[in-house]
Amino acid sequence: MRTMPFLLMGALLLVTGCQGKNFVRPSPDSLVLDKTTYEEVIAQLGNPYRKGSSLKQGQTITSITYAHANAWATTGFGNVTPTRSMRLHFVNGVLVGYEFTSSYQADLTDFDETKVAQIRTGETKQTEVQQLLGQASGMYAYPLIRRESERALVYLYSQTRSEPFSVNVYLKKLVVSVDGDGVVSDVAFDTIGDK
């Protein structure tokens, strides 16, 4: 899973207190896969915190990241530092995916991972996934997923806890691919660290 560098960036923001440009999560209507352009995102959100590229399915993906952390704010979850991050992925200047994570109470992206086992490939429908877990915090299209005719719902949550002399990072990510009939075709769930 290539999310670890993205997550570590949030932890580094934490160490220096209030860092990154605060931003508001764009509405899903403003992020349309295979349509929204890089220029439209920059016009809406401004210059990103970080930019990079990778190769997937033989295509070059340009990814931009927005991030904000405030070590002096509270989340209501013990010593979890409020962080908000968003990555957007483009092929030839067109959006092919995005994921958003937040430990701020106002736009928290935590989800109940104990319900993932209820999602069955070839049986569960997209609407049932959303009833089970709520609104996804991201979406993927090809080449971020294997099949060109499908889309994927992305559920992502990360948190950073400051402990004496250490920083504990936890992440969980669920990617649920859905075919053209709205039926789940693949489920991938990963975690990093301890909550």
Structural domains in the chain (count): 1
Residue among 51, 111, 83, 109 at smallest CA distance from 167: 83
Q: Residue 3's pLDDT is what? A: 46
Is the backbone peptide bond immediately before 28 cis, with ω within 30 degrees of 0? no
Q: Residue 77's pLDDT is what? A: 64
Taking the model in full, what pTM does it have? 0.85
pLDDT in 10s for each residue of the chain, 195 residues: 444 444 444 444 444 444 567 788 888 889 999 999 999 999 999 999 899 999 999 999 999 999 987 766 655 566 777 888 999 999 999 999 999 999 888 888 999 999 999 999 999 999 999 999 999 999 999 999 999 999 999 999 998 876 666 777 889 999 999 999 999 999 999 999 887
Q: What is the per-residue DSSP string for 48-65?
A: -SEEEEEEETTEEEEEEE
Q: Residue 20's pLDDT is what? A: 63
Q: Residue 195's pLDDT is what? A: 72
Distance CA 154, CA 129 (A): 11
Q: Residue 78's pLDDT is what? A: 65
Domain that holds residue 29: 4-192
Q: Residue 85's pLDDT is what? A: 92
Q: Residue 117's pLDDT is what? A: 96
Tell me the β-bridge partners of 124: none
Output the six-digit token pair for 23.
Answer: 């931003």
